[in-house]
Amino acid sequence: MLVGSQVRRVAIVGGVRIPFARGMGAYFEAGNQEMLTAAFKGVVERYRLQGERLGDVAAGAVMKHSSQWNLVRECVLGSGLAPETPGMDLQRACGTSLEAAIGIANKIALGQIDAGLAGGVDTVSDAPIVYPRSYQQLLLKSAKGRSLGEKLKPWAGLRPKHFKPVVPGTLEPRTGLSMGQSCEIMAKQWKIPREEQDRLAYESHVNAASAWSAGFYSDLVVPFLGLTRDDNVRADTSLDKLAKLKPVFDRSGSGTLTAGNSTPLTDGASAVLLASESWARARNLPVLGYLTYGKVQAVDFLKKDGLLMAPAYAVPMMLKDAGLALGDFDFYELHEAFAAQVLCTLKAWESAEFCRERLGLDRPLGALDRAKLNVVGSSLAVGHPFAATGTRIVATLAKLLATRGGTRGLISVCTAGGMGVTAIVERA
């Protein structure tokens, strides 16, 4: 059965993550499986799910060893959930865990399952390192040989270059550019000043530090390997300190993206528990909010738009589905891949030309209230383990609505490959 008797509301029970850590730091010896299992265990323990069979678990990682082909299922088996709980790996770059949440939510809404877990994990400290394809071919040719001579013959071509490891990178296959280089192009196209980028980064750190001090994250984060809070948050940063940092992606003198206004390479994992209202009530579990809409969109970044501009399209499409305007939200959680990316998107929505020519609107989408943007910090401060960011945001936004009031919040995540994943969370 693909569809049940009725479409149901999807409740966000809550989420848990481990502290996000700078790459090659606190989690240097941890891998994807250890981190994601820890996040799953955090959910199981917090919501008393030991031995519970969930309908499905969906999660993924961007940087993953080939040996982790069944990563999520292995993490489920180590989580404390019933071993009969299935697990599924998926990947949509930086939008992976938000995509996982939307997928689990759809199954709940359509009556296929009653509850499920969505999440994501990534590590740059345990990134898969392989040898060149040419070396692999030598090994395969040798393995195919039937006689000793046939097995040894390929090795006559062995050269020192074959031992040079290939480290995974974040270059776009179609352009050969890194995300930062691509975002530099966007910043120039949209004329985003360095000062505005630094201010957004500063506000992210200030908001995150204040949220940690106020205890906002205390029930959203579980300790892992001795770390109890995100180690990238800089409570003592300042606009002056940020202004002194040199551009890292364009050193020609016209670059504006620095280590301070770009997300750091990060290790971490997050998960969120979704369910039908009846399933949550039967177990006396809270309902913080509802996941109500989701949308994914891609752009032609080779000819038309910047690599990270897809949310500028996805959000208006989702608003049309929901019958809402950009100003109808109490909180805006826009993933800060780079400060410039967020500012380009906001400027696009305020542009009559962009909205008319690219979105088909007769007026600008509008300007959002910046006081409602990333009010407890976002990726620039907290960090960005690629696949883990989406469910971090879902759990954060649901708690914001539950504790600070308001009606609804908007989520936007840009991804590699010119895609964007967006969602709406409404208050319970």
Closest alpha carbon to 390 in 302, 297, 270:
270
Is 75 among the residues known to form the active site?
Answer: no
Longest dimension (CA), the chain: 75
Dist CA 61 CA 311 (whole Å):
21
Closest alpha carbon to 224 in 14, 15, 28:
28
Burial class (CB in 10 A: 0-12, 13-18, 19+), 304: exposed
For residue 317, what are the contacts with CB-CB under 8 A and spacing of at least 6?
295, 297
Dist CA 245 CA 30 (whole Å):
30
Cα within 13 Å of Cα(291), Cβ side: 34
How many residues does this entry show for the chain? 428
Q: What angle do CA 181, 413, 26 make, to 5 degrees?
A: 75
Is 94 among the residues known to form the active site?
Answer: yes
**What residue ranges in 188-288 does DSSP mark as E strands?**
266-276
Q: Out of 94, 183, 344, 355, pick the active-site residue.
A: 94
Cα within 13 Å of Cα(65), Cβ side: 12
User: Which residues are tagged catalytic?
Assistant: 94, 384, 414
